[in-house]
Amino acid sequence: MNDIPDYTEMVFPETPQNLPDNNLTPAYGSDVIADVLASLGFEHVFLVPGSSFRGLHDSLVNHTRNRKPEIILCTTETIAVAMAHGYAKSTGKPALCIIHDLVGLMLGSMAVYNAYCDRSPVMILGGCGPLDPAQRRYIDWVHSANTQSDLVKPFTKWTSEPATLQATVDALLQGHKIVASKPSGPIYISIDQGVQEGGISDDLIIPSVDLPHYQPAPVMAPNPQSLADTADLLLGAKMPLIVAGRFGIEAKVTPVVQKLVEITGAAFVDDRSIVCMPTDHPQNLSGDADIRKNADVILAVDCIDPTNAAAAYNEAERGRDGQKLISMSMENIIPNKWSNFGALESATEIEIICDPLLGMEQLTAVIEQRLNAFPNGAIDARKSELAEQHTALRKSQNENWLDDQDASPIKIPRVIHELHEAVKDKPWFLPVRNHRSFSEGIWQFDGAGHYLGSDGGGGVGYGPGAAVGASLARNKKGQINIAIMGDGDFVMSASAIWTAAHYQVPLLIVINNNNSWGNDEHHQIRVARARNRPPENAWIGQRMIDPDIDFATVAKGFGAWSEGPVTDPGALAGVFAEAVKQVEQGKVAVIDVRTAL
């Protein structure tokens, strides 16, 4: 007998059919789990189906009725975790995903690492077991382990493998509190298949999640003496510099950072792959090659690696003579230092462990008190000097590429310019962009909250999934969601496009397609030159050619509108204009642009 139903008349949105009107009483363990997830406030759950959580999947559909959380079907576990990662960064709240046991966790582990390095609050659930061997089928022996969380334990904030329904409920509440507390990071909870499909005991306790002891603690405040010492250093500096980092994904950061920059007369630069200040602010020198070297006091705020923020790698003793580095973040209390990511102990003069936004606000208040007795002539003179540097810097950034603006393959600055022209008067949002090849000064940002930063851990394949997840969170805000990514990033996770098309998530993806693993081809060129070998061989084992990948056809196959390859820079304006129209109509648009290496 064929028990597969006929889907010829599916209902969208995906609303379960033929269910009783008011029967929401839980009957199975997984029903209770679904209720707890709903009460924790999750709007969506990103998942790839797996038999290890078939009970929970049924409860999400037929008990909580695919409402809160609503299932977002993904095509690989890597994409599911990346979508949750992007969604969490876009909303500022914990995101939820579910992945299959063992093999699903193996496949998704790179994306878990990205979320860990990016300090993103992602709650990951995985099926497991059954823990009772007597309940296991053949496939359960293949796909289960004694402690499967060992696969990701080194790069998660917390893990749990509860054995009973009560322990599972408690783990969900504890895990949500942990993942929502700063410093953030992903957590992993495995949910036993036997618990999911079993019954509910009469003595099960499900506490209200509204009780204070299930909520995150308030953010950590800075040490007052450290603030006072920092204020003295900044006000006494000849050329203070403020470098702002990861917290720039939140729009509320800009007014706080801008006020501190202005009252101290400090130069400002964004940390790697983030935007915290308006591009046209006269003290913003992002892209300046020398300001980090010339500054005598540097305040690095929410920078994972203060040494890199100061551009001080390979300097004597990891710092410059006479330069004082101050770090304000929560990095040194991040658990699990298994990875070397950001682990170099920076030569900091002052280490301030606190929530960076709260720390900035309180530091500003301290400095304002001191300014009454501080002559501001030096500050005003420095601001004038910085404004001149800013004007010259932006002029050069916007003119340096003009001589090559008509080149083919197309130069990246031309792509950025034409795309910005197409959306600059619209409510745009940039969840993903290339960081190494994104030319400073061309795209005009009015501050933080418009760009969500990099993948975190350098795991290629993050872009498509994260862009879809972040855009889903902004789907009702009328924004033009734009992702700019390399061909390697896109090809690893191209099937995320299907999820965007299926759930009607408007998104514009521009592929910087140089037919190469470009970053590594540059590495091969440098190695060859260092060894006095022919750099013209660097393309071997790097170029994706013969045949070229037809990204436009791939995107169409997943349900997107697409165009490309675009090889004529003069055609970019028209192609981008049409793509924006498609996105405004609620569609996914993918543009393949042939760019220079």
Residue 244 sits in the same domain as residue 335: yes
Q: Give 108's contacts (C-beta < 8 A, 6+ positions apart).
A: 76, 77, 78, 80, 81, 99, 124
pLDDT digits (tens, 9 = 90+) for 473-489: 987 667 899 999 999 99
pLDDT tens by residue, 337-363: 688 776 667 789 999 999 999 999 999
N residues, the chain: 597
Return the pLDDT at 155: 93
Q: Which of 378, 398, 418 is the last residue of a domain?
A: 398
For residue 334, what is the domain's CATH number? 3.40.50.1220
Query: What pTM value is reported for the model?
Result: 0.94
Indicate whether 458 and 540 sit together in one domain.
Answer: yes
- 179-210 burial, b at 16+ Cβ within 10 Å, e below that, comes to bbbbbbbbbbbbbbbbbbbbeeeeeeebeeee
What's residue 393's pLDDT? 97
* Domain co-membership, 245 together with 333: yes
449, 588: one domain: yes
Same domain, 423 and 329: no
Same-domain check for residues 370 and 424: no
Number of domains making up the chain: 3
Contact between residue 439 and residue 413 where contact means Cβ atoms under 8 Å apart? yes
Q: Please indicate, yes or no, whether residues 338 and 485 belong to a single structural domain of this protein.
A: no
Which pLDDT score, from 0 to 100, does residue 313 have? 82
Whether 90 and 238 map to the same domain: the answer is no
Q: What's the confidence (pLDDT) of residue 157?
A: 94
**Half-sphere exposure (Cβ direction) of 449: Cα atoms closer than 13 Å:** 14
- pLDDT at position 133, please? 82
Q: Has residue 556 been placed in a domain?
A: yes
- Domain identity same for 233 and 105: no
Inside any domain, residue 16: no
Tokens 């995985």 correspond to 126
Same domain? 241 vs 256: yes
In this structure, the answer to whether residues 495 and 387 fall within a common structural domain is no
**Boundary-marking domain end, from 361, 378, 398:** 398
Tell me the one-letter amino acid at 287: G
Domain carrying residue 377? 224-398
Residue 152 belongs to domain with CATH number:
3.40.50.970
Q: Is residue 141 part of a domain?
A: yes
Q: What is the DSSP letter of 222?
A: P
The list of the chain residues with pLDDT below 70 reads: 1-13, 22-23, 210-212, 315-318, 335-337, 342-344, 375, 476-477
Does the residue 238 lie in any domain? yes
- In this predicted structure, what is the pLDDT of residue 134? 81
CA separation for the pair 308, 325 (Å, rounded)? 11
Q: Give the whole-angstrom CA distance, residue 400 versus residue 341.
A: 34
435 shares its domain with 517: yes
Is position 1 within any domain? no
Q: What is the pLDDT of residue 172?
A: 96
In a domain? residue 156: yes
